Amino acid sequence: MHAHIVFCHPESGSFTGALKDVAIQKLQALGHSVSVSDLHAEGFDPVERAEHYTLRKEPDWFSAMIEQRHASNTDTLPGDVLREIERLEKADLVILQFPLWWHSQPAMLKGWFDRVFVSGKTYTSGMRYDRGYFKGRNVICCVPVGAPEAAFGGGGRGGDVEAMFWPIHYSLYYMGFTVLPPFLAYGIQNYAGVTLLDDEAFRKHLEDYKAKWADQLEHLGDLKPIKFPGWNDWDELGHQKT
């Protein structure tokens, strides 16, 4: 199996970075190959803009969808986008490694979605959902969260985790991925803070989550994918059949 990690955090020494390292070490120990997109270190531009396209379809005004389709048809997609698509094409498993910021993924990762999931190349009107471009590949989000687990769900102050992740997971399913339940590391506050790192209980808390993540990677086959409706579940207007 080949796994590809999309790592989105400005600090490699963060706990997000530590979990990325755990994944690399564990997967390689299991005999798998691993590649990484380090979005910050590689300087990925998350902002879709006209300047990315050298051969414009509409030079006087910019539509991301029109230019993506034109670049797909003329083999002129931006190099960084092609690089990311090729990395995903080689993967059997994709890991999105990011912190939960403002109840969602960081802006850079959202921009990665905007630019890498290319209209005309990786999706079309008929190549979506259970007929998507990346059909047959698994994807899982591995996400440290600041608040404790008890604060989430059921009216807790942390919010509804399933609601927060729905846009991310549904976008991945839109692209054809088989979406596995996310791995969430709760209670990860100020990982780089000297006070907390000096606290033995907090250090054990971090190490426990590293061990849990490594164990989950070893038993990914035991996870039940998130269920979504498919093309056969909708009528011609996109309504769910009854």
Per-residue confidence (pLDDT) for residue 211, from 0 to 100: 96
Residue with tokens 């791995």: 183
| In the chain, where the domains are located | 2-233
Cβ 140 vs Cβ 98: under 8 Å: no
Please state which CATH number belongs to domain 2-233: 3.40.50.360
Residue 117: how many CB atoms within 10 A of its CB?
22
- Beta-strand ranges (E) seen in the chain are 2-7, 33-38, 93-97, 138-144, 178-179, 183-185
Residue 164, both tokens: 């927060």
Q: Which residues of 189-214 are buried (b: 16+ CB within 10 A; e: fewer)?
A: eebeeeebeeeeebeeebeebbeebb
Can you say how many angstroms the Cα of residue 229 is from the centroid of all Cα atoms in its chain? 20
Per-residue confidence (pLDDT) for residue 196, from 0 to 100: 56
Distance between CA atoms of residues 72 and 239, nearest Å = 30
Per-residue confidence (pLDDT) for residue 115, from 0 to 100: 98
Q: What is the pLDDT along the chain (242 residues), one digit of tens a residue?
A: 999 999 999 988 888 999 999 999 999 999 999 999 999 999 999 999 999 999 999 999 999 999 999 999 999 999 999 999 999 999 999 999 999 999 999 999 999 999 999 999 999 999 999 999 999 999 999 999 988 888 887 788 888 888 899 999 999 999 999 999 999 999 887 555 444 556 788 888 889 999 999 999 999 999 999 999 999 989 988 999 88
pTM to 2 decimals? 0.93
